[in-house]
Amino acid sequence: MTTMGILAVREQQARVVADEARVALEAVRGLPAVKAVAKLRLGPGRTCEPVARVIDKALARADAAGIAADQLVVAGGSAEPAEDIVRVRRKAHGIADWISSPTADVSVELQPAGLYVTQVGTAPAPPDRPGTTASPQASAHQDVTPNPMAETVREALYEVIDPDLGVNIVDLGFVRDVVVDDNGVATITMTLTSAACPLTEVMEDQIRTVLLTDNGGLVSDFLVEWVWVPTWRPADISAEGREQLRAIGFTNF
């Protein structure tokens, strides 16, 4: 929805605690939208992938409308508690229990930088320019034009499960970026708990099944780029991922 120069996008059951989403929105208010996504995914400070995904959706909608992503800032947003997602978890010997994960009704508002400055009287932080210092990961986010297909691929990756932890790779914070080019080739930037983890091939096999075999073949091909800097931290796990890990006995994260 676009009103008075504001592009508003709403996610009614974002998999995040409402208070966490509010903190994340406040942390990126006034930032260029692309820079806000990079901050929420890669830091510095506390990250919040669910809110980053909502901003991604807004940027994709703006791109479809012919609005340049680098001209938009995060003008505002809100987060309210929504209905929990309840799923069954099956154990050995026919035993099962329930996993209840909190969600939030998250809204994000993007606005052209010029209008935002006029209303609040403060210029947003400018995007990084050649000659300035920026992390390679942040630069990658800023140089990519949002593609609606990237969000579809990211959602499909929730079906890829870490065989050691039993939780999907998105909620574990292993997926750092998804880009889909004009030829339908997905580039997925990923990490794992350590560079010595032996599961890279297992993960790629699961991703191949999800993207190329299941779901009618979402993309024409894919490439996984493994990165180890910055290192993965338990803080990268989403709220739902933490709930799932607690349900199977993990407490030290």
Q: What pLDDT, in 10s, does the model give residues 130-152?
A: 433 344 443 434 444 456 789 89
Cis previous bond, 148, omega within 30: no
Distance CA 222, CA 29 (A): 34
pTM > 0.85: yes or no: no
* Mean per-residue pLDDT over the chain, rounded: 80
Structure-model confidence comparison of residues 249 and 202, the more confident one: 202
Please name the residue that has the structure tokens 């406040």: 26
Q: 1-122, which class in CATH? A: alpha beta
Apex 24 CA angle, 225 and 119, nearest 5: 115
**Contact in structure between 177 and 140 (CB atoms under 8 Å):** yes
Could you give the 3-state DSSP secondary structure of residue 79? strand
Could you give the 3-state DSSP secondary structure of residue 223? strand
Please name the residue that has the structure tokens 């026919």: 94
pLDDT for 229: 80
Evaluate if residue 103 carries a pLDDT over 50.
yes
Dihedral angle sign, alpha carbons of residues 195, 176, 181, 198: positive
Could you give the 3-state DSSP secondary structure of residue 224? strand
Superfamily grouping for domain 147-253: Fe-S cluster assembly (FSCA) (3.30.300.130)
77, 79, 83, 88 alpha-carbon torsion, rounded to 10°: 90
Evaluate if residue 106 carries a pLDDT over 90.
yes
User: Hey, where are the domains in the chain?
Assistant: 1-122, 147-253
Distance CA 68, CA 141 (A): 14
Distance CA 212, CA 4 (A): 42
Apex 73 CA angle, 120 and 117, nearest 5: 25
Structure-model confidence comparison of residues 118 and 91, the more confident one: 91
Number of helices (H), then strands (E), belonging to the chain: the values are 8, 7
Distance CA 253, CA 247 (A): 13
Distance CA 172, CA 191 (A): 10
- 34-67 pLDDT, tens per residue? 999 988 988 777 789 899 999 988 888 888 888 8
